Amino acid sequence: MIRTFIAVDLPGQVKDRIEEIIWPLKPLSRSIRWVRPEGLHLTLKFLGEIPEEQLPAIVTALEEALSGRPSFDFRLSGLGGFPNLRRPRVLWIGVPEGGEPLRTLAGTVEKALFPCGFAPEKRPFSPHLTIGRVRSPRGVEPVLERLPAIDYTSGPITAGAVKVMKSQLKPTGAEYSALKIIDLKAPANI
């Protein structure tokens, strides 16, 4: 069995900048498990534990669905939490620009994987970058008080590929590796 998800990766310099933002927040609460920089990605669909022999069908379905799909740019900006910042379970950075193409891409992934036995998500896709998971609401107030003051907006980030990712859970946190990279088509120069 392989723990698997579908994602758009981020460039190293964006991950480094986000780590600079997170670093001063880490000592403020032990109740938050922060995502390590190498683990930062935009999840399009979480598949969970799948049999390894199902992987070729998943890859084929995605390659067919994404063939000719153009790449696009998006930006990260604004910090928040799900379900809200009063009692968050997840801390995130939003996608105020390029969110609609990400929603469309996630919808394409959903439709492609339905015949492979993956039910559509019950909630609508909300583009975001998870930066931390709240283990307990106790002691998170110092972090939540600082989040609104953090002013971060990335430059344009190109979603140029969709990755089928493997997630290995370890005591030190999840480790991710790409099982397959499906390139999106570069837009034609005008």
Stretch (H or E) spanning 4 = strand 2-9
Q: How far is CA 4 from the centre of its chain?
A: 13
Q: Is 41 a catalytic residue?
A: yes
* Residue 41: both structure tokens together: 């990605």
Longest dimension (CA), the chain: 54
Active-site residue among 15, 41, 45, 166? 41
Q: How far apart are CA 124 and CA 86, in angstroms?
A: 22
Q: Is 128 a catalytic residue?
A: yes
DSSP string, 30-72: SSEEEPPGGG-EEEEEEEEEE-GGGHHHHHHHHHHHHTTPBPE
Question: Pick from 162, 140, 41: which is nearest to 93 by CA?
Answer: 41
Active-site residue among 45, 128, 163, 166? 128
DSSP assignment letter at 6: E
Residues classed as catalytic = 41, 128
